[in-house]
Structure 1
Amino acid sequence: MEKEISNEILEKWLKGWSLSRNLALPIQYKSGFKVDVNDEKQKSRYVFSDINSDFLQLSETIFEPWVFLKVCNSFERFKNLIPEKWQVQPQGYMMSCFHPMSLPNVSLHEDYRLEYENYNSTFVIKIVTKKGELSSIGRVVLVDDLAIYDRISTEINHQRKGLATFVMKELEKIALSKGIFNNFLVATEEGKSLYELLGWDIYSLYTSIVIPS
């Protein structure tokens, strides 16, 4: 069952998202938050916990392309309240796992090895081949009592081998070693099924709209 997300959790997740990407931390914008991304296809993002007058006002006043508006609700709830200039993006899912993950007993094949890295409260786990080719990667950022998982991916020619699951297992070990049991992430449609298998639940829908160039 979906829950109403608090601004406290939203800010912690957004802080973790920003730290993972070496961006400036989110700043309060009225009832939501703003992050300057400074990317060609995402200049900035405004994030709100729910559809409200601040969110709707921004949808009227922004005309610049590649400025994203994001809200923890479904597009159906507000599509008739915003100008037609906006284009909805693929559905995202805020997901939580406030207990140990349901991880299968996976081990790493001898063809692979682990590499570790950390920066900005962000811990990185990489699985690479013996030749040094990156096969799978993921990050966890620790923000207060929340472990925020980010950018979990596996290269196409290394998929279906349980590598992403192994990355999640190693990232969870890091969070647990710091006494953090509350896990949070935003998943794509594709990633959602993996996380559900590992015991995660959908916390809230996460919808993005943008004006393309």
Structure 2
Amino acid sequence: MDGVVQAWVTGWVVSRGAAAPEREPWGFTVDVGQVAHVSRHVFDALGDDVDEGVVRKVAGGVTGAGVWLKVFHDPEVVGGWLGEGWWVDPEPGFLMTVPLTASAQRTGAPPGYRLRTWSVGGVTRVLVAAPDGSLAARGQVAPTGRTAVFDQIATVPAHQRRGLGSVVMRTLQNVAVGMGAETGVLAGTPAGRGLYEALGWHVEAPLTSAKFEGPNAG
């Protein structure tokens, strides 16, 4: 999918309430404004098109703790490009997409669970509450024109394998389609990949997440 990284960045900043992305020759810089996540540099090349020299140059210019890199290549490869002070998540993420159509399957919560959906600031959130009122599953989506970013999808371990993740995803999918989105985009974890692929999502590229902790960290 052409422009998939830009689509993900555009929707992610809406979903997380981050600053508008700044275009760079190699991708995007996003200010997030959190102590452990001050900003992030997102490279827009995928897989073998990622330029090692460019990643090394950008990483080498980072001097403040809490700056992240998002590189669409394997962690084992990217980790070897980064110098002292970088923590690299050993588990790869996955940039994924799906053509969006309205789900014909039931999206209600299973018996005993409660499903609630609400929208604020262009972001629609879904909550599935357990019978005792505690959190069972959740997720959110930020449609931005023809694409929509699905974000922070999670099911509490005690409530997994009950179809709640599918309920959340299909509910968000219907919201996105209703707002005119044609393609869904997300950055998934290894734990979530199976769910997304079962729902028709396709992996576009692996994703490495790295955080600068400072030369003396650890």
1:43 corresponds in structure 2 to 38
1:72 corresponds to: 72
CA contact (8 A) 1:112 1:129 kept: yes
Tell me the amino acid that sits aligned with residue 45 of structure 1: R
Cα 1:103–1:79 change in 2 (3 A) is farther
Query: What's the CA shift string for 1:107-144, capped at 9, x where partnerless?
Result: 52221122121122211111123553222111111011
Q: Which amino acid aligns with 2:17?
A: N
Structure-1 separation of matches of 2:13 and 2:19: 6
- Using the TM superposition, give the Cα deviation of residue 103 of structure 1 relative to its aligned residue in structure 2, in angstroms: 8.1
Helix, strand or coil: the match of 2:151? strand
**Alignment CA distance shift 1:102-1:109 (3 Å):** closer
CA distance in structure 2 between the partners assigned to 1:104 and 1:173 by the alignment: 11
Structure 1 residue 30, shift from structure 2 partner: 3.1
Q: Find the aligned partners of 1:141 and 1:201 in 2 and give their Cα distance.
A: 19
Count of residue pairs brought into register by the alignment: 208
- Displacement of 1:54 in angstroms is 3.9
Gaps of 5+ in 2: none
Structure 1 position 163, deviation (Å)? 0.7
Change (3 A) 1:31 1:126: same
Indicate the larger mover: 128-137 or 198-207: 128-137
Residues 101/187 of structure 1: CA separation in 2 closer, same or farther (3 Å cut): farther
State the match for 1:174 in structure 2.
175
Amino acid at match of 1:93: F
Aligned counterpart, 2:185: 184
Q: Aligned-pair distance for 1:204?
A: 1.0
Distance 2:56 2:142 in 1: 31
**Secondary structure at the residue paired with 1:49?**
strand
Shift of 1:67: 0.9
Q: Report how far residue 174 of structure 1 moved.
A: 1.0
Match of 2:5 in 1: 10
Q: Deviations over 1:193-212 (max 9, x none)?
A: 11111111101111122223
> Hey, what's the Cα distance between the residues in 2 that align with 1:150 and 1:62?
27
Question: Equivalent residue for 1:34?
Answer: 29
- C-alpha distance in 2 between matches for 1:200 and 1:126: 22
Say if 2:124 is the partner of 1:120.
Answer: no
State percent identity of aligned pairs: 28
Given that 1:101 and 1:200 are in contact with CA atoms closer than 8 Å, whether structure 2 keeps it comes out as no
The range that moved more, 24-33 or 96-105, is 96-105
Q: 1:101 to 1:56 in 2, by over 3 A?
A: farther
- What secondary structure does 2:7 align onto? helix
Instruction: Supply the AA of the counterpart residue of 1:34.
Output: T
In the alignment, which residue of structure 2 is the partner of 1:133?
A: 134
TM-score (norm 1): 0.86
Paired AA for residue 39 in structure 2: S
TM-score normalised to structure 2 length: 0.84
Does 1:82 find its partner at 2:77? no
Inter-partner Cα distance in structure 1 for 2:116 and 2:106: 20
Structure 1 counterpart SS, 2:81: coil
CA-to-aligned-CA distance 1:35-66 (integer Å, 9 cap, x gap): 11222222211000233344321211213222
Which runs of 5 or more structure 1 residues have no equivalent in the other structure?
none
